Each structure stands twice: as C-alpha cells, then as structure tokens.
Amino acid sequence: MAIFNKNTLAQVSGFDNPILAGELVYNQNTYWNLSFTNSNTSLPINLTGATINAQIVRRQVTNIIDTRNGLTFDIADYSPTPTAIPLTVSNIVAASGTCTLVIDSTTWGLLTTDAQLDINAASCVGYSGRVKVSFPASGSTPADDQIIFLLFLIRSDGIVVI
C-alpha cells in the first residue's frame, strides 16, 4: 500500500479532517470496516437514524513523485467532467457505530483501454470523494454531518493492462 505525503493528503481533506487513502490495482475489489466513536469517551456513536452516503469522482492526477516522505502529486478536476459514482455502504450495525465501505471495481467504469492504466503511464487514474454520515436533529442537538474524505490511485496490474 502506498504511503501518501501529508501535504498531498491535505490537498484533498484539509488539515484536520479524516481521510481514507490508498493505492488500488486495476479491477481490485476490497472493503474497509469503519467504526465511529466519540473522541472524548471512545464509546461507539450510535448510527440509528443516520444516513450514510459514499461517492467518488474521477480526478486528474499529475506530477507523481515518490519521495522519502511518501507519494506527492497534484490533483485536479478531470475533463470532461465525470458523474459521481456511488459506493456501497453495508453491514451497518447502528448500536455499535460500525459499517463497511465496499470498493466494487465494476461500478467505476474503467476500461482496459484507459491511457492512464498503461504500465508506463506517468500519471495513474485517481478518484477522490467522501463518506458522509448525516445525523438528524435530536431534541436540542442540531443536525450534524461527519465527513471522511476518500482518495484512491488506481495502477495497472501489469497483467491485464500492460
């Protein structure tokens, strides 16, 4: 798994926001189990009544450099402007504050002919997005959204896409 430079991650999420970032291989399916806890008490945050939505969108990734402090690169809007891709959130256990973010490569629409998947590509395919957990207002507590930013680089597998 790639290590990303902290300044690069700040381009996507800012300085104090959580981010889930990784380097995936073309056509790789995977998942992340997420757990939401109260930062003061470490107790689970009950997700009952919360709406969880996750989306990613294709980005242009350029100037990739592997430095001593991790990968650095520039990220920008992709042209033509792509449609956001919904990601599946499953296995929601509201009382324990847990769920699973599913990465299903078949929903992304990447083709083996994509020039940025070429094994020699100077810039790989990139996606950014977010997981948004929306809590409804409850009594005197106003509605609140928790955001986890997402950043994925997709590399050639060196077998299917050469």
Confidence bin at 2 (pLDDT 50/70/90): low
- Which CATH number does 6-155 carry? 2.60.40
Structure tokens belonging to residue 81: 């402007």
pLDDT at 161: 60
Give 49-82 pLDDT, tens digit per residue.
Answer: 999 999 999 999 888 888 888 888 888 999 888 8
| Cβ-Cβ contacts under 8 Å for 78 (sequence gap 6 or more) | 57, 58, 59, 60
Q: Could you tell me the pTM of the whole model? A: 0.87
Q: pLDDT averaged over the chain?
A: 86
Domains of the chain by residue range: 6-155
Whole-angstrom Cα distance, residue 4 to residue 73?
A: 9
Given the structure tokens 């970032």, which residue do they identify? 21
